[in-house]
């Protein structure tokens, strides 16, 4: 009887170990949502006429400020503009400043709404110039765009509106409205909204990857 009892205990132990190993084996072959989101993210330049709820923006921005950054200095600031009135007035000022320049042509596009790729909301990221702060802000932008994708939103990361308007004399009034802290400079902006297109994936060159042994 004692031998039978020991045999049963041994069998139960083996079954328990097998059950513990099973999830690990399954997870190794299961679909990974993080990887799927990274590979599915695309730059979106067409958006639905639909506002993004604040709770979704809050979650996306929380993911942004949780990005890796040098020495955890967090020398970045974020401003969100979802006021259509402000986006329209900013676009009008940019259009006026672009008269007589090659960039004026974009305003003649029938689908044109604003200089931020027609996005209904725009996230502006500023940095305190330093050795690694541009890298830090790039990591933040990556987190924001991936978080947005996972929540069914589309994004496009832009430097053009910053360089051609926001940081120029013509954009001084708008820059003042963003009210970044002294010493911080606008670096990049991210258009965000519900996508109205599904861009195809562009080829990526995997040959740039080399293992050093």
3-class secondary structure, 70: helix
How many domains would you assign to the chain?
Answer: 1
C-alpha to C-alpha distance for 204 and 52, rounded to whole angstroms: 31
Lowest mean pLDDT among 3-17, 97-111, 114-128: 3-17
Any domain includes 68? yes
Any domain includes 79? yes
**Which residue range is the domain that position 131 belongs to?**
49-100+110-193
**Neighbour tally for 19: CB within 10 Å:** 9
Any domain includes 211? no
DSSP secondary structure letters along 116-157: TTT-SEEEEEEE---SSHHHHHHHHHHHHHHHHHHTT-EEEE
Residue 73 and residue 116 in contact, taking contact as beta carbons nearer than 8 Å = no
pLDDT tens digits for range 169-206: 999 999 999 999 999 999 999 999 999 999 999 999 99
Any domain includes 15? no
Any domain includes 77? yes
Does the pLDDT at position 44 exceed 90? yes
Any domain includes 31? no
| Banded pLDDT at 27 (limits 50, 70, 90) | low
Q: Quick one: pLDDT at residue 103?
A: 87
Q: Provide mean pLDDT across the span 83-89.
A: 96
The larger pLDDT score, comparing residue 84 to residue 7, is at: 84
| Banded pLDDT at 158 (limits 50, 70, 90) | very high
Any domain includes 12? no
Residue 45 and residue 115 in contact, taking contact as beta carbons nearer than 8 Å = no
- pTM to 2 decimal places: 0.85
C-alpha to C-alpha distance for 134 and 140, rounded to whole angstroms: 10
C-alpha to C-alpha distance for 193 and 25, rounded to whole angstroms: 38
CATH number, position 56: 3.40.109.10
Any domain includes 64? yes
């Amino acid at each position: 009887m004692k031998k039978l009892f020991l045999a049963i205990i041994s069998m139960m132990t083996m079954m328990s170990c097998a059950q513990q190993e099973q999830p690990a084996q399954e997870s190794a072959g299961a679909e990974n949502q993080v990887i799927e989101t990274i590979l599915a993210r695309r730059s979106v330049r067409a958006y639905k006429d639909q506002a993004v709820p604040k709770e979704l923006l809050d979650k996306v921005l929380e993911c942004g400020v949780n990005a890796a950054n040098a020495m955890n200095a967090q020398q970045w600031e974020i401003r969100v503009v979802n006021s259509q009135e402000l986006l329209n007035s900013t676009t009008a000022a940019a259009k006026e400043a672009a008269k007589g320049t090659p960039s004026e042509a974009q305003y003649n596009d029938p689908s044109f709404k604003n200089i931020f790729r027609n996005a209904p909301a725009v996230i502006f990221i500023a940095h305190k110039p330093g050795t690694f702060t541009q890298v830090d802000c790039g990591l933040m932008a990556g987190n924001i765009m991936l978080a947005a994708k996972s929540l069914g939103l589309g994004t496009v990361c832009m430097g053009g509106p910053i360089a051609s308007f926001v940081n120029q004399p013509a954009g001084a009034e708008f820059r003042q409205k963003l009210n970044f802290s002294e010493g911080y400079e606008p670096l990049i902006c991210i258009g965000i909204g519900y996508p109205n297109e599904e861009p195809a994936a562009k080829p990526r060159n995997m040959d740039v990857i080399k293992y050093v042994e």
